[in-house]
Amino acid sequence: MSRYIVTGGQPLSGEVSIRGAKNASFKQIIASLLSPHPTQLTNIPQISDVKITESIAKHLGSIITKTGEHSLEISTPNITTSIVPHGTGEKSRTSFLFSAPLLVRTGKATFPMPGGDKLGDRPLDRLFDCYAKMNINVTPKDDLVTLETTGIKATNYTFPKPSHTVTECILMTAAMANGESIIDNTALEPEIDDLILMLNDMGAQINRDSKNLKRIIIQGVPWLKGTKHEVISDRNESVTFACAALSTKGSVNILRIDPKIITTFLDTITQMGAKTEGGKDEFTVSWVKPLKPIDIQTGPEPGFMTDWQAVFSVLLSQAIGCSTIIERVYPFRFQHIKNLENMGLKATFFNPEVSDPDNYYEFNPESNRPEYFHGVKIYGPTKLKPANLTVTDLRAGATTTLAALTAIGQSTISGVEYIERGYEKLAERLRSLGANIEYIKT
């Protein structure tokens, strides 16, 4: 099990460049399989989620060539099998996304139910419901799902709740359907718009309704070509470095990121008393005075992103007073709090009083459990203590690393393979900002 050895207590300072978005890069590799022609992708991060996706694509018939440190060419002249391999497919959240190119090009797809982080159920009912309306037969059996179609039909569909990844899967599937599809109440994340840009460059006809941005109109086309596309920068990575700077009372200039795609985060830390300065493709965040507490709720774009709340918890531990986080996207996403409590965090779980929970929360009601808490109160400022800890998911791993940088003394973090799912060379890049962190790979 690989680990970090972190000696914390030093303010971070300097500048760091943001890599391509994890939540866009692997999906765009999958989208390239819609066409038999070569596609070139740049700004691809070197992370394990991308490697898993590449492995699945190669199994399905793709030829993938590394053309640079962060560049790939993907060519899939023929789909050689419609079955996503069980081993790699089970490890990843990507498995069901492969259904789009497989259905378009072969009329069938089989995939294992997706894995990834331990965040609770990842219900695919919204995808399967829409697929049924698109003349796609869905047959679940044990932990496998088989899809078949005699021809993908266009449809009008309204999501009961916005769904980021399912929206992207439907867009890829409808891009070559017969007729015009209108999908309502879609998610608004910038990674979706980056996928739309790529697909349109391949010849698709996909547009958001200018009067209702949650409505996406897809005019099916008979074929798609290859393209050249640069992956959007990673919002989660930029927020992680910003929280690392503020938690350690430092100042970091964050490059290769459009501040407009993290407006909600920047507004939040500004309210807390942080100093922020933005440019066209960079921003600087600085600790200039003690931070004030704040109450946040996670939610779909343009809300406070659920992926941010874990690393943000470290920042709240250094604010003066009681802050609250309410998690509305997943039924339970506070696994990181246990590690922080082991480092001295004072926190209390609670369930907010909600008159209409079915509409208030983004997750399906059946995913909830009596033992789940949807809110946590964090009391600060806390003098975090070093500790020896093990992480079991991506965001908790990044959170524990930030906490170790904040604590005075030496901490050991085991299980950093999970961090490598979404962060490229995190230890090396933190060292460039002055962090005392050693990466021991085993």
Place of tokens 């774009």: 301
Radius of gyration of the chain (CA): 22
Angle subtended by helix axes 394-406 and 235-247, to nearest 10: 20
| Run of H or E residues at 267 | helix 263-272
Q: Is 117 annotated as catalytic?
A: yes
**DSSP code of residue 231:** P
The per-residue b/e assignment along 411-430, b for 16 or more CB within 10 angstroms, e otherwise, is bbbbbbbbbbbbbbebbebb
3-state secondary structure of 19: coil
The single residue of 117, 193, 307, 393 carrying the catalytic annotation is: 117
Give the strand pairing for 251-255 and 13-17.
Answer: parallel
- Residues 182 and 217: beta-carbon distance below 8 Å: yes
Q: Which amino acid is at 190?
A: P
Q: Is 26 exposed, middle or buried (0-12, 13-18, 19+ CB in 10 A)?
A: buried
Cα-Cα-Cα-Cα dihedral sign, residues 181, 182, 185, 187: positive
What are the start-end ranges of the E strands in 54-204?
Answer: 63-68, 71-75, 108-112, 136-141, 144-149, 156-158, 180-184
From residue 37, give the alpha-carbon distance in Å to each of 74, 130, 195.
8, 28, 17
Cα end-to-end distance, the chain, whole Å: 6
Residues belonging to the active site: 117
